[in-house]
């Protein structure tokens, strides 16, 4: 998607903010990420080749490279700034020699990337213009028997524990969901069905319900603040003045709150390219 190129925006969000939010997401939802990486990395053969589809800042690519010391990882994204961020972190973590970045618009014809043992797409498929095209390209990039892990959000995280705050978040998320649907994004698509249609065998569908209670890790306040700013930017002109003022008031004091929770859900589909195709 062309708006994601250069220093533009993704889903209405500046790249620098999105990059920070992706890193905070992995940091704050640490246990979920740990469980997921443990599960998926147990399915790979020795010396796997892994493709991270829409890698962003590399939360998946880097975690897989660290967990699987003999893996080679190809991290693909349309955004050069995201890939630079990823490379910088790969150097810091000592895995840069096993991570290759490829800048490509995956809505177009894909560069040769495989044959891979594992393809990983976390919160990226819903951005693609044509999911059928993307799934066909992933299928072709996998070796027969290779695994495809799709991770998608059902909704964005919620933080406020009180009834009025939770209701405000719910109203805001509903408006943002409408806006994304109007923009043609595929949040909430039936990935199991689409994967099967593309020729994959869907072996598992697993939902992670994340509910972190206070006291939260230090990064959680900033995660909430960035999430609220993102929500606020996307809602200008779409919700009434009272709700906008309430969002501003909450954002202004969110770093001082000690009662925040983090409520999020992720669904993971585990699909395989059949061994005979
Ligand atoms: C919400 S981020 C998810 C990043 C990462 N997978 C994660 O879980 O943290 C979506 C990523 O998909 C990338 N993206 C969106 N459209 C793309 C396209 N057409 N081709 C390649 N990458 C794309 C964006 O640049 C962004 O880095």
| 252 in any annotated domain | no
**CA separation (Å) from 47 to 43, 59, 114, 129, 141?**
12, 20, 14, 32, 17
Q: Band of the pLDDT at 181, cuts 50, 70, 90?
A: confident
Atom nearest to 106 CA in ligand 1: 20
| 257 in any annotated domain | no
Q: Which two tokens stand for residue 101?
A: 């970045």
* pLDDT higher than threshold 60 for residue 11: no
- Tell me, what CATH number does 28's domain have? 3.40.50.150
The CB of 127 under 6 Å from ligand 1? The reply is yes
Range of the domain at 139: 2-158+184-212+264-272
Q: pLDDT tens digits for 110-154?
A: 999 989 999 999 999 999 999 999 999 999 999 999 999 999 987
Count the domains in the chain: 1
Measured in Å, residue 257 CA sits from the centre of ligand 1 at 31
pLDDT at residue 74 in the model? 98
The CB of 157 under 6 Å from ligand 1? The reply is no
| 69 in any annotated domain | yes
Q: Which two tokens stand for residue 190?
A: 């039936």
| 243 in any annotated domain | no
pLDDT at residue 13 in the model? 52
The CB of 55 under 6 Å from ligand 1? The reply is yes
Question: What DSSP letter does each residue of 31-44 carry, written as one string?
Answer: HHHHHHHHHHHTT-
Phi-psi region of 140 (alpha: psi -120 to 50; beta: other; left: phi over 0): alpha
Measured in Å, residue 15 CA sits from the centre of ligand 1 at 11
| 194 in any annotated domain | yes
C-alpha count within 13 angstroms, C-beta hemisphere, residue 203? 12
Q: Band of the pLDDT at 2, cuts 50, 70, 90?
A: very low
Measured in Å, residue 164 CA sits from the centre of ligand 1 at 33
């Amino acid at each position: 998607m062309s708006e994601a190129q250069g220093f533009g925006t993704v889903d209405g969000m500046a790249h620098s903010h999105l990059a920070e939010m992706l890193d905070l997401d992995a940091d704050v939802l640490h246990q979920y990420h740990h469980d997921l990486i443990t599960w998926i990395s147990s399915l790979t053969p020795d010396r796997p080749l892994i493709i991270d589809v829409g890698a962003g800042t590399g939360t998946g690519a880097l975690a897989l490279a660290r967990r699987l010391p003999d893996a080679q990882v190809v991290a693909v994204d349309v955004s050069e700034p995201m890939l630079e961020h990823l490379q910088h972190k790969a150097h810091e973590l000592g895995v840069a020699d096993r991570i290759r970045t490829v800048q490509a618009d995956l809505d177009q014809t894909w560069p040769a990337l495989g044959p891979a043992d594992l393809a990983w797409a976390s919160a990226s498929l819903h951005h693609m213009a044509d999911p059928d095209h993307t799934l066909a390209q992933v299928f072709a990039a996998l070796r027969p028997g290779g695994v495809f892990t799709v991770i998608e959000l059902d909704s964005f995280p919620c933080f406020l524990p009180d009834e009025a705050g939770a209701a405000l978040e719910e109203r805001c998320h509903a408006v943002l969901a409408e806006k994304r649907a109007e923009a043609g994004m595929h949040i909430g698509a039936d990935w199991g069905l689409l994967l099967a249609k593309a020729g994959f065998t869907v072996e598992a569908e697993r939902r992670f319900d994340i509910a972190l209670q206070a006291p939260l890790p230090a990064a959680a306040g900033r995660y909430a603040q960035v999430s609220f700013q993102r929500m606020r930017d996307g809602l200008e002109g779409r919700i009434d003045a009272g709700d906008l003022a309430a969002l501003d008031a909450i954002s202004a004091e969110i770093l001082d709150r000690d009662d925040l929770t983090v409520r999020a859900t992720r669904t993971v589909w585990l699909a395989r390219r059949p061994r005979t195709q």
